[in-house]
Structures are given as structure tokens and as C-alpha cells.
Amino acid sequence: MDLFPPSNELGATLGRIRGLVLTQETAQHAVDLLAQVTQETTSNASGAGVSLIHESQRTSVGATDALVRTADDLQYTLSEGPCLTAWSTRSPVTIDDTTIDVRFPQWSAAAAGAGVRSCFSVPLLRGRDSLGAMKVYSTVPAAFDDADRARLTSLSIAASALLGHVQTSETSTRISSELRESLRSRDLVGIAKGILMEREGLSESEALAALTARARSTGVPFRQLTADIVNGHGDHGTRDALR
């Protein structure tokens, strides 16, 4: 099992999310999509969620199912729990077994009663700001290992930049500089593929083939072509390149 998801896979995933998010420009839409991706990224998760938090209050919440919503609601009702702590301390929080963990006695007891046995929460950090937290829950104890935690931490870095981009209402025609930096230049290809997959209904292999063919036919350097698509500059006719 790879410790980190492949960069092109992460880039394509976030590129696709970005393509969807920017059609609505809402943080709620972003957290809903990111919650789904978080669960898919972590194989042992029974459910996943993403919360944006301001002054200890949730402003937007994405959850994959009722188990996640219940576990999250309990934290804000009881004013304690791993998600709130990850957000406030800017540090990840792992609970291997809610029936024996003593850090959040009220929440752990209530969560165990609701069916949650283990969880992992990681803060969403953007510069000096803590935007919220991303979390996974499981109905079995000790469900998440180092590889799971590494994957979620890796995803949270790029997700934080994306959410910051939406929250600050930056222009919808370019990706934020923080996201470009977090994914690095090699991920421009993955992001561009994801955008084309969503915008033009292509498969991943078709999107890559279209990018390659268009770069060759226009003489535009491949990296520049992908950067232009990510930044929303011009129409490179990628669908036509498949014909």
C-alpha cells in the first residue's frame, strides 16, 4: 500500500472537484464533494466529513452519511471532540477506540453509543488560519493506520488551498496560487485532466490523449497547455483533438 496517493491521481481528483465547485462557487458544495473524496481515499472509513469552522461554530459541513452527521453534531452539542480539537490545536487527532479513550469522555461515550469506534481528524490549514477539519470515522476500533493518516494529511493540504480559494471568493477563472504550490507543477497535468473530464465528459485516458494531441498540433509546450487550462485561459480545443 502506497503511503501517499499518486500525485497525478490526487491532482485529477482535485481538478475534477475544482471544475464542479467553480460552477456554483459555494463552500457548501466544496465540502460535500471533499467529504466523498475523503472516504474514497481512506479504505477503512465507514464515513467521512469536512467541516469549516469559525469561532467554534460550523459554517459549512459535508458528511457522507448519518453516522458522520451524528458524530459531528455531538461534538458541537457537547463542545468537545476530535474534530474541534484538531481545528483549535492545528494538529491531527487519532482515537483508536472510543470505549477506552479518556480525552473526550462525554463525546467518546456518546459516539460509541452511536456506533463510532475509531476516528482520525486532521486540521485544514491555510497559512496562519485554521479553516476547519477533515475527518474519517469507522465502526471498528483502530481502523486507521499510518498510511491512512498520511493519505488524509496529504489530501488536506490541497483541500485547504481549494477551500481557501472558495472562501475568499477569488476569481473563478484561475486556480489559487496556494493550490498550485501544494500540488506542484507536476500535478498541473492531473488537474488539467480532471477539469477536462468534468467539463467535456472525457475519461481520464481520453483527457490525457486530448492534451497530448493538442500540444503536438499547436506547438504549445505541454506544461504551458495544462497551465492555461488550469488557469482558465483560452480554448485549446481539446475535444477536437480526439477526432
pLDDT greater than 60 at residue 178 = no
pLDDT greater than 50 at residue 173 = no
According to DSSP, the residues that pair with 63 across neighbouring strands are 49
Digit-coded pLDDT (tens) for 193-237 = 888 887 888 887 788 778 878 877 887 877 788 878 877 754 555
Separation of alpha carbons 10 and 16, rounded Å: 10
Digit-coded pLDDT (tens) for 89-113 = 999 999 999 999 999 999 999 999 9
Q: In sequence order, what E strands does the chain have?
A: 47-54, 57-63, 93-95, 118-126, 129-138
Digit-coded pLDDT (tens) for 18-68 = 665 555 456 777 788 889 888 988 889 999 999 988 877 887 889 999 999
Identical topology for domains 7-173 and 184-236:
no
Which position has the higher pLDDT, 68 or 157? 68
DSSP code of 242? G
Give the pLDDT of residue 16.
61
DSSP code of 145? -
Give the pLDDT of residue 212.
77
Give the pLDDT of residue 82.
98
* Domain 184-236, CATH: 1.10.10
SS3 sequence, 175-241?
CCHHHHHHHCHHHHHHHHHHHHHHHHCCCHHHHHHHHHHHHHHHCCCHHHHHHHHHHCCCCCCCCHH
**Helices 146-167 & 7-21 angle (0-180, nearest 10):** 30
Digit-coded pLDDT (tens) for 122-134 = 999 988 889 999 9
Give the pLDDT of residue 162.
77
Helix then strand then coil, in percent of the chain rounded to 5, is: 55, 15, 30
Q: Identify the CATH assignment for 7-173 out of 3.30.300.30, 3.30.450.40, 1.25.40.10, 3.10.100.10.
A: 3.30.450.40
Give the pLDDT of residue 242.
42
Give the pLDDT of residue 55.
78
Question: Model pTM?
Answer: 0.64
Which position has the higher pLDDT, 141 or 230? 141
Give the pLDDT of residue 224.
80
The residue extents of the domains of the chain are 7-173, 184-236
For residue 179, which phi and psi values (nearest 5 degrees)? -70, -40
